[in-house]
Structure 1
Amino acid sequence: MITAILIDDEYYALEGLKQDLDDLGTVRVLGTYENGQEALSQVADLRPDLIFLDIEMPETNGLELFDQLLEAHPQAAIVFVSAYNQYAIQAFELNAMDYLLKPVLPERLEKTLKRLEKKLPPPIQKQLSLHCFGHFAIQVGGEEIVIPWRTKKAEELLAYLACLKGQFVAKEKLAGTLWPELSREKSQSNFYLTFHYLKKQLTEAGLELPIESERGKVRLNLKNLELDLACFEEKLPPTDQLSEKTAALAESAAALYRAPLLDGHYYEWSMAMGWRYEMTYQELTKKLAVYYQKRGDSHKAAYYQKASTRQE
């Protein structure tokens, strides 16, 4: 996703451009600035791909600010935005990427973004993963991303979708599960508001979690997402008798179960689900204890025997 900052001394022009970019869905706006010097002080830290820069501003105009911005962040592409066309020649002499006239038309904006996309290097794909055993966590490339949830229900909604392991669920059922104490109408109203906040906060955090809606149902698509619950179940041995191959898979599954499901979060809907995973883990570690006891590996046998009885 392209990242951008917007600089314009007119508040409504800033908000209008930001809304147009949000609607396109391919740009994450890192900041909006009515003061060019404030933007200049932050651009090196933000490192946006693209800077939308107004020309006629008090104190330092956009043409003067151009070189200062590039000196602070040389990799940025700069697009001038102006209500007047008389600065176009100067803008292109400065090697601006584009020059847009206000009001900016969405189709013209889209054309500018497509030009930029061709120049940007392909993004490095980092593994996106969700962890439900232990505290609920989102990770990118092995690093946890902490999101300051606007509402805890947004986090709970994402956790619920994760626990369904890619299955579609009716939005009405989701609403009733997360707000069982409310009327049908009120719970559905809360759901749609929370769903909006969830997607908005994920986008603001630069996370493209594949949440899909279809005919009144929603799901988390696991195609390009690593989910510990799904990995755990895939590695479970099909029989009680472990072989060398299935024992290795069983150990991988046991290692994923670091702590109980959504540990530290009390959700009524997750209680029975968490109990089933705990029982599965205990049975799994018992099998491993028996397997290693038969092989004469007393250390591993003792380790898994202890693990199997930790909450009994």
Structure 2
Amino acid sequence: MKAMIVDDEELARSRLSILLAEVEDITLCGSFGTAAEGLNYIEKQPVDVVFLDITMPEMDGLEFANLLLERGHSASVVFVTGYGEYALEAFELEASDYLLKPISRERLAKTINRLTKMKRMEASRLYITCFGGFRVSVQEEGGHVISWRSPKVEELFAYLVWKGSVSRDEIADTLWEGFTLDKAMKNLNSTVYYIRKALQQYGLEDCLITTRKQISLDSKRVFCDLYEFQQMQNSAWKTEKDLERLSELYRGGLFQGKTYEWSFGKAQTLEKSMISNLLKAGEKREQLKLEEEAEQLYLRALELDPFHEIACGRLLNFYMRLGRKEKEKQLRKEIEKLFSDDAPPPLLIFKNRL
């Protein structure tokens, strides 16, 4: 970790520098006598932890820490002071630790261990895939896949991913419908326990936030394709790059292959939204005379829903405008097949053309 010291007392800076030099995991990259000097440095150079005195002239340590928060700096702050009365204010500013002078080697070692553990936890994330199935892994997609004790444990976690934050009563009503309240709550508590146990082996159990009434998932500790997809849907995206990213995220239906009845309505809404995106993008490609790209977008929309009337009509009109009579004729036959008794699975008809 890269560390810096900000303290107006030269002897205090010197002693702490000596102590930090003895720690393998720490590289001291700067030592400053004023908050202004320290702030100027951290604006230009990456720093993992700031050892910060509180009582300094001009700008004190509390003001310095507050500025770091306001400006979104990720550095941890460890306050170093000769006074204990500032502890409450320090932790309100999300301080990682509070050291009283003179600092002992033993006490500093505990701080370093705490910082190392925090950094390791911050680096760990859950990667959650909801489109085309349901998969939870540690770190990147190629990382360890979380193994759940039972399908119900997996379903509860999927439900928490979908809702973000939800009351215990709603979970009980949805996942244990027909059970008595007491029985449902017992099942809920035991299932939450098994989720924590599955996450605990990777140090990610704190991703799950529980209170007496609510259960939430800490969105800061996860990457989820559903969250990114929804965020992009809500923004006024226009570029080809945005569409490519949406297509990458939407690998298939929401929780595809899972029989989560509570997700069916949401899955249909997201599919309709994706089809709408594809049709709009196809129309823009047509306007730019990019006929081949437009055709692929229309076919992708029909792959998602072969019965989508607007998509069928859009592609038929596309072929008619370009005078592609053979393709128009072939498409009409394929549409007729969809409604025949001996039709193949609808998805295969258009998927084979991509």
Name structure 2 gaps, 5 residues minimum: 1-106, 307-354
Deviation string 1:165-206 (CA, Å, 9 cap, x unpaired) is: x3x211111011111132222111110110111111111244
The correspondence for 2:123, drawn from 96, 121, 125, is 125
CA-CA distance at 1:144 after TM superposition: 4.3
CA-CA distance at 1:230 after TM superposition: 1.2
The correspondence for 2:188, drawn from 187, 191, 206, is 191
CA-CA distance at 1:211 after TM superposition: 1.3
Match of 1:152 in 2: 151
Match of 1:252 in 2: 245
CA contact 1:254–1:284 (8 Å) conserved in 2: no
The correspondence for 1:291, drawn from 284, 296, 317, is 284
For residue 219 of structure 1, give the secondary structure of its aligned residue in structure 2.
strand
Distance 1:119 1:186 in 2: 42
Distance 1:209 1:215 in 2: 16
Q: Residues 127 and 288 of structure 1: is their aligned pair in 2 closer, same or farther, counting only changes over 3 Å? A: farther
The correspondence for 1:304, drawn from 297, 301, 305, is 297
CA-CA distance at 1:162 after TM superposition: 0.7
Deviation string 1:15-55 (CA, Å, 9 cap, x unpaired) is: xxxxxxxxxxxxxxxxxxxxxxxxxxxxxxxxxxxxxxxxx
For residue 200 of structure 2, give the secondary structure of its aligned residue in structure 1.
helix
State the identity as a percent: 26
CA-CA distance at 1:229 after TM superposition: 0.9
For residue 218 of structure 1, give the secondary structure of its aligned residue in structure 2.
strand
Alignment of 1:277-288 (within 5 A): 277-288=270-281
Alignment pair present for 1:263 and 2:256: yes
Q: Residues 143 and 252 of structure 1: is their aligned pair in 2 closer, same or farther, counting only changes over 3 Å? A: same
- Report how many aligned residue pairs link the two structures: 195
Distance 1:296 1:144 in 2: 42
The one-letter code sitting in structure 1 at the alignment partner of 2:129 is H
For residue 185 of structure 2, give the secondary structure of its aligned residue in structure 1.
helix
Deviation string 1:219-276 (CA, Å, 9 cap, x unpaired) is: 112123211111001222756xx74x3x432331122100111111111111111111
Which has the larger Rg? 2
Q: Residues 224 and 181 of structure 1: is their aligned pair in 2 closer, same or farther, counting only changes over 3 Å? A: same
Q: Residues 120 and 225 of structure 1: is their aligned pair in 2 closer, same or farther, counting only changes over 3 Å? A: closer
Q: TM-score, normalised by structure 1?
A: 0.56
Distance 2:295 2:153 in 1: 42
CA-CA distance at 1:210 after TM superposition: 1.4
Q: Residues 223 and 272 of structure 1: is their aligned pair in 2 closer, same or farther, counting only changes over 3 Å? A: same
Q: TM-score, normalised by structure 2?
A: 0.50
Q: Which has the higher contact order (CA 8 A, sep 6+)?
A: 1
Alignment pair present for 1:200 and 2:197: yes
For residue 266 of structure 1, give the secondary structure of its aligned residue in structure 2.
coil
The correspondence for 2:208, drawn from 207, 211, 214, is 211
Greater share of residues in helix = 2
Computed over aligned residues only, the root mean square deviation of the Cα atoms, in angstroms, reads 2.6
Q: Residues 187 and 120 of structure 1: is their aligned pair in 2 closer, same or farther, counting only changes over 3 Å? A: closer
Alignment pair present for 1:173 and 2:170: yes
CA-CA distance at 1:207 after TM superposition: 3.4
Name structure 1 gaps, 5 residues minimum: 1-110
Alignment of 1:103-142 (within 5 A): 114=110, 117=113, 123=120, 125-139=123-137, 140-142=139-141
